[in-house]
Structure 1
Amino acid sequence: MTDTVPEQVNGHAEPNVQLLKFAPEPPPAAPAPAPAPAPEKPKRRVRIDHLRRVIVEVRADEGYTTLVRNAAYTWGGARILARRAWDSRTTARHERMMRAAEAAGNEDLVRQWEQRAYAYRFARHRRRVEILQMVANAPKTIATGAGAGAGVLLLLGVMLAWGTGDVHNVLTPINATVELLTWVSFLASVVWEPILYALPLIALGAAWAVGRRQHTAPAWALPADAEDRDVVPDEGAILKALGNLGIAPLNKAIKNGWQPRWVSPTTRSGPGWHTQLQLPMGVTVEMVNGKKKVLAHNLLRKPVEVWPTEPPKLPGTLDLWVADQGSLSGPTPPWPLLTEGTVDYFKGVPVAVSQRGEPIMGKLMAANWMVGGIMGSGKSSLVIALLLGAILDPLVDVEAYVMAYNVDYDPLRPRLRALVKGDEDEQIEAAVHALRRLRDEVTERGKLLEELGGDNTKLTRELAQKDPRMRPKVVVFDECHELFMHKEHGKEAAELAVKVMKKARKTGITLVWVTVSPTADSIPRDVTRNTSHRVAFAVGDHVANDGLLGSGKHKAGVTATTLIPGEDVGTAVTVGFTNKPFEVIRSHYVAREPEKGVDEVTPVVERALKAYKVGDVWEVPETAAADVLTDVAAVLGDEPRMLTQEVLHRLAERNPTAYLEWGPTDLKAALEPYGAEQYKSGGKSMVSRTRIQEAILDRLAETDEDEGDPEI
């Protein structure tokens, strides 16, 4: 006889579980037809369900799970500590890094780790030889030390006896030392035994703590309310975050024992962490990008702080950069040209810092810009910083056509060649007329370039200084969707824009398109395709994102849809600024808030106007060469020495135009004639303040000698 009873598992009833129930035999009754024999299969099912219930109940027992959890913590922690000890005493870590670099095809990194492994083996051999020598010399050293100590104590005793007049005091220091050693030995004998017995417990406790921190217990044995996630996205945290994205192929691979292959282990990269992981079969980077918000949550980050992409040369590999918590939300550094400095159109303008804190130069020569995002996301701040830098080059002419009524460009009006504002037909016609003029000017500049430059078909600063007709020009079309969507002039404007952009890159004409509506209808695709620098602030959807950054960028993880309007102001996703597939930047903000009494724009415009002369001609002063000794002394400050890379970084911040592209070799070439070049200290390249100061003093002394002493 069988009854259906609910099965109690973790306090919940699960019906339809067949259990056998035995009862006494009933009294004989009237004969009845014999029932058909029950099939054997249901009986087996009863036993399997019963066994499963027993296993679940046993696992649900708190004592059992606690025992398994803590045992797994201890065993897993011991394994981790053993592996760390092995890595610290051998070249296992170097071999692992070499294999990863070799798998990634990075031969330079392989050679670096080979050199590190060789240096480690050499240092280890030297330490062992020194230990053997120390052991061999130990008896002599001990004897010498004991004799010297006894001599000192005896000398103190003689002096004490001489002072007190008691000859017995000669041995007093020696007796006191012997008593001290006796007490120390006694205390050691008392403390030693408890410490000796406690050492295994301390070791087990340390292993348990490491295992608990790394969650080495089975998932079913972990406490439900003890989710202890670390803010450092190491390999374990990344795997756990990926395993909780809800991606079916990835979950299946993990369940089947997938062993992750780290193309590049997790390392520090700027204000964040970088890693590369080869995904299992059936899992794409697009699948991970589809769960970006969940991935950021699992890593205790905001979506804007997590960037999963696929490297162009490593298909099937997840390239993940995770920023430090809050590192992309603080204030940006001041604009480097806020109070001093000039700009060279042919070298670019500092406009932002990267997500790693590096200066970002906005290229002007042979470049076109597309800047988009919703209102209040920071578009104008980036464009204003770009234009302020452009007008600091006396060669550059700037025009602005704003198909709206705003005051963003008004402070720049004194230095602009043209400023048109408004969204009526009159202003639209003015913008179209400007494009027609640019089309003709591009053709004329091409002819002049051939005459002036000969074989050189690219505009240079020298050629621009020879002929005012070849001076660089930056033209901004703000709210350009109003222009391209105009019923009468839109089609012509799109055709003119494409013609100008295709021919302008070598003639010194830069076009900047700004819009809040980057769609296929508002921005012609050919305009986007011919744009070298694309900037996407916070956008509403993937259509706007791909309209700015290019088709397919959203699926590839290069997306600004995760930027939060009103919170990530000034933060943008860019393409074309560096040699990387994309770059997250934070634009500089040159403040102009009259209601608060703040105006940083007008002083820059006034500096730019100082080169203006009568007759509407722009003076072209000779650009003063950077004084490397003075600049290095300034960035060193009070530091006696500084790492070469840090010096280069500070020089780039101080004068991006002169030093942004400098490397250690450039710095050495500049300092070597003065005898102040960098030197090695502890295997690291350093710059000495003393050397720099001596070089400056020597240069001043040579200058005085050349000028002669006025008193003679």
Structure 2
Amino acid sequence: MTTDPMVPAEDVDAKSARIVDLNQRRADRAAAADGLVTADESDVETMAPESVTAGAPVDPPDPPDRLTDLLDAPRRVPILPAWLANVDEARAQLARTMAVAGYHAGVHAVRSPLYAGKVAWYAPKGAGRLAGRVLGWTTAETGNWSLRQDAANRNDAKTWLELDRHRQRQTSWRWWVTAAGLLGSLAAAGVLYSDLTPWWVKAPVLAGGLIALARYGRPLDKPIIERTVVKARYRKLTAELTRKGIMATGLVKRPEDIVFPAGIGEIRRDGPGYLAIVDLPDGVIAVDVVEEREKLAGGLRLPIDQVWPEVMPREHPSRLALWVADRPVSAMKQPAWPLLKDGRTDFFKPFVFGFDPRMRPVMYRMDERNSLFAGFPGSGKSLSARVVLAGMALDPLVTFAVFDLAGRGDFDAFEPLCAPGLFGSGADDGTKADAYRMLMWLLKECDTRGPLIKKYATAGLNTENKLNRAIALKDARLRPIVAAIDEVQELITDPEIGKSAAAAMTSIVKRGRALGIHLVMMTQRIDKESLPKGVTSNIAIRTCLAVPSHVETDLALGTGAYRQGARPTQFEIGVDAGWGVRVGFGPMTSVRAAYLDRAAVERVCRRGVALRGDVVAGVDLPAVRDILDDLRAVWVAGERGQHWDTLAPRLADRFPDAYSALNAEALSALVRAKNIESRNVKANGATRKGVYLADITAAIEQRTAGTD
């Protein structure tokens, strides 16, 4: 290696044998450490390790000058806007502008008589108000009036006189200013309205003056010209606004306690709105913020249905998801149901049920589940359940049974899909009896389907002893069944068949889920009598629509649902129809059922009938039975009386199609509905509630005599 004798040895880079300027090198290293420039690879090799890793800048370094020059190179912009350079675009833009201008002109032209009346009404008031303001300023009465009044109240004559002398000194020169202004105004008016001034100058000046006086005289909340366009309220969600809204709930005291978690906390677009994910301080959980949704919306200065706080599933309780829509969700147009015009469904696969506040599709699943729709009148129970039934109409394997115990005709479109005896509409006893008979048929199906499914599963059509599509296609007896009962509380609370019906439904929801039987129940009475725990506790998918309190929420969705963040109480009854909180399939979510009016449902049902080849197979319904005749048929000779808990198993063994779900309490209700009293009966060495054979015989004879 050779070196230049004219260069000191310490200025030679020993590694690369290049001559370098050490002073410049040190300056470059210092600049790199401060994050101003980026060192090249050769510099990194000669730097100490700690100078490369320690204190790394958060913000990226500025680019070198040569890159900056390239980035800052002049970029020519078109002299004319792009739309103006294109003839077609310019013509379209001009047409849009003219249309908007014409709309505004037309609106104001129609309202011009109203505007003229407002000007004529408010202009004199404005002139009087202006004269009063000028006179008040000239006399200086308003300047220190409060101070003079205070002195008068304290009987301080000296102070009052001093303040009044100060007022008079101000007045002495203000009168001259007012007089000069008045003379100048009169002179200008004389010139303006003389023959020297043309009419096309007089008219606008007069109109402008009157409008100015009218604006000065009108109340602040009553504009003269009406708005022609009302823009939707929109606020972009920011970190500052998010903290402001949460603090408005009163749950958090310091804004710095609201943290945006790294990686997921960035505020971003999510559908037609913005989503923010935040971590709340210790001791504050997301449910608390959901509970204070009104205060949160108030802090954001937005309508309540534009602000949607949610608990994040499978996260710690203090993590909150806040979604703010661009405009109120109630004002957004809901997407059309994807299956409205074409498509098919599968009982064993999810299908679109509705949409959440972010307009994302919410799925629904039928297999191995049952459904409950609960809400007060006007909340949209029937509308929501019809979407489920409409979806199943598009699976040709599904067998339908529908009973509308309200009798309003909301489900009449599904009658062509139902076999004879499996459709009813009405609030009468006959329709309820038919619905009860349908439940007995479902119980019979539960008994017969189990062994058949086991046989096909053993043959390899399923890995579990549950119904799947392969088995349903193999055997027509095992087609999925969707049975819907609207206003189910009318059946459950019926004094005659209610208890037996409730017992049957309890058995069906427990056993039928794995056998391809899906029971859909709707009710507007949400209490323990209308929704027995034995029924609701075994229903998987529950949707609670608008209700007044947390009591109904927990009864419909399960104990603790309100505490976990379910807030159907925030939906307005009669307004937010179709909105509900859904649990049982996926995370708990607020969902609005897809809107299907009567005509749309009828079209879907016609497609469903066509998919079935315009043929609906019949079913073998249980025979209509008489409880008194059947009791006498199972009565053992020599018994004077017998207990309910002994007679119920006898009936179930003798007539399983009709009484397989019958218990002692239900049997008692059935017999008491025939005007037979439940008595204390001594039999089999014990005394319990039951019935005497003589009472049954007397009731039968009386009925026979009445029919004769």
**TM-score scaled by structure 2?**
0.51
CA contact (8 A) 2:334 2:359 kept: no
1:358 & 1:262 partners in 2: Cα distance? 24
Report the Cα offset of residue 358 of structure 1.
Answer: 2.1
Give the residue type in structure 2 aligned to 1:349: F
Report the Cα offset of residue 608 of structure 1.
Answer: 1.9
1:561 & 1:546 partners in 2: Cα distance? 11
| Residue 430 of structure 1: aligned partner | 434
| Residue 298 of structure 2: aligned partner | 297
Distance 1:302 1:575, change over 3 A: farther
1:576 & 1:237 partners in 2: Cα distance? 34
| Residue 630 of structure 1: aligned partner | none
Q: Does 1:524 align with 2:532?
A: yes
| Residue 536 of structure 1: aligned partner | 544
Give the residue type in structure 2 aligned to 1:270: G
1:322 & 1:362 partners in 2: Cα distance? 25
Length, aligned pairs only: 397
Distance 1:451 1:129, change over 3 A: farther
| Residue 593 of structure 2: aligned partner | 587
Q: Does 1:377 align with 2:415?
A: no
2:364 & 2:68 partners in 1: Cα distance? 61
2:601 & 2:615 partners in 1: Cα distance? 25
Distance 1:614 1:502, change over 3 A: same
Q: Does 1:337 align with 2:339?
A: yes
Give the residue type in structure 2 aligned to 1:608: G
Distance 1:608 1:230, change over 3 A: closer
| Residue 605 of structure 2: aligned partner | 605
Q: Does 1:402 align with 2:408?
A: no
| Residue 486 of structure 2: aligned partner | 478
Report the Cα offset of residue 396 of structure 1.
Answer: 0.7
1:518 partner SS: coil
2:311 & 2:604 partners in 1: Cα distance? 41
| Residue 236 of structure 2: aligned partner | 232
1:477 partner SS: strand
CA contact (8 A) 2:277 2:322 kept: yes
1:269 & 1:512 partners in 2: Cα distance? 33
| Residue 503 of structure 2: aligned partner | 495
Select 2:367's aligned residue among 357, 362, 365.
Answer: 365
CA shift digits 1:31-68 (9 cap, x unpaired): xxxxxxxxxxxxxxxxxxxxxxxxxxxxxxxxxxxxxx
| Residue 626 of structure 1: aligned partner | none
Report the Cα offset of residue 476 of structure 1.
Answer: 0.3
Distance 1:134 1:441, change over 3 A: closer
CA contact (8 A) 2:404 2:410 kept: no
1:552 & 1:245 partners in 2: Cα distance? 23
Distance 1:233 1:550, change over 3 A: farther
CA contact (8 A) 1:271 1:355 kept: no
2:580 partner SS: strand
CA contact (8 A) 1:309 1:556 kept: no
1:600 partner SS: helix
Give the residue type in structure 1 aligned to 2:67: I
1:615 & 1:393 partners in 2: Cα distance? 14
1:376 & 1:405 partners in 2: Cα distance? 15
Give the residue type in structure 2 aligned to 1:503: R
Report the Cα offset of residue 513 of structure 1.
Answer: 0.9
Give the residue type in structure 2 aligned to 1:445: R
Report the Cα offset of residue 613 of structure 1.
Answer: 5.1
1:530 & 1:374 partners in 2: Cα distance? 22
2:561 & 2:615 partners in 1: Cα distance? 49
2:260 partner SS: strand
| Residue 307 of structure 1: aligned partner | 308
CA contact (8 A) 1:308 1:557 kept: no
1:540 & 1:393 partners in 2: Cα distance? 37
Listed as ranges, the matches of 1:209-228 within 5 Å are: none
| Residue 131 of structure 1: aligned partner | 67
Listed as ranges, the matches of 1:252-291 within 5 Å are: 254=254, 259-263=257-261, 264-291=265-292
Listed as ranges, the matches of 1:609-688 within 5 Å are: 609-612=609-612, 616-617=616-617
CA contact (8 A) 1:303 1:562 kept: no
Listed as ranges, the matches of 1:35-54 within 5 Å are: none
Report the Cα offset of residue 617 of structure 1.
Answer: 4.2
Report the Cα offset of residue 133 of structure 1.
Answer: 9.5
Distance 1:552 1:272, change over 3 A: farther
Distance 1:521 1:614, change over 3 A: closer
Select 1:325's aligned residue among 324, 327, 331.
Answer: 327
2:383 partner SS: helix
CA contact (8 A) 1:343 1:389 kept: yes
1:436 & 1:400 partners in 2: Cα distance? 14
CA contact (8 A) 1:401 1:420 kept: yes
Distance 1:259 1:392, change over 3 A: closer
Report the Cα offset of residue 560 of structure 1.
Answer: 0.9
CA shift digits 1:112-147 (9 cap, x unpaired): xxxxx99x97xx79x649628969xx9xxxxxxxxx
Q: Does 1:387 align with 2:397?
A: no
CA shift digits 1:540-570 (9 cap, x unpaired): 2222222222222223321111112233222
CA shift digits 1:132-190 (9 cap, x unpaired): 8969xx9xxxxxxxxxxxxxxxxxxxxxxxxxxxxxxxxxxxxxxxxxxxxxxxxxxxx
In structure 2, runs of 5+ residues without a counterpart are 1-34, 38-55, 74-232, 619-708
Distance 1:340 1:296, change over 3 A: same
Report the Cα offset of residue 600 of structure 1.
Answer: 2.6
Report the Cα offset of residue 357 of structure 1.
Answer: 1.9
2:362 partner SS: strand
User: Which structure: larger Rg?
Assistant: 2
1:89 & 1:486 partners in 2: Cα distance? 83
CA contact (8 A) 1:288 1:308 kept: yes
2:583 & 2:299 partners in 1: Cα distance? 28
| Residue 243 of structure 1: aligned partner | 247
| Residue 468 of structure 2: aligned partner | 460
CA contact (8 A) 2:305 2:328 kept: no
2:578 & 2:36 partners in 1: Cα distance? 48
1:411 partner SS: helix
**TM-score scaled by structure 1?**
0.51
1:244 & 1:276 partners in 2: Cα distance? 17
1:244 & 1:132 partners in 2: Cα distance? 46
> What is the RMSD computed on CA atoms of the aligned residues?
3.3
CA shift digits 1:390-425 (9 cap, x unpaired): 122111111112222111111221112221223333
Report the Cα offset of residue 286 of structure 1.
Answer: 4.1
CA shift digits 1:568-613 (9 cap, x unpaired): 22222212343x2x22222222222xxxxxx233332222222445
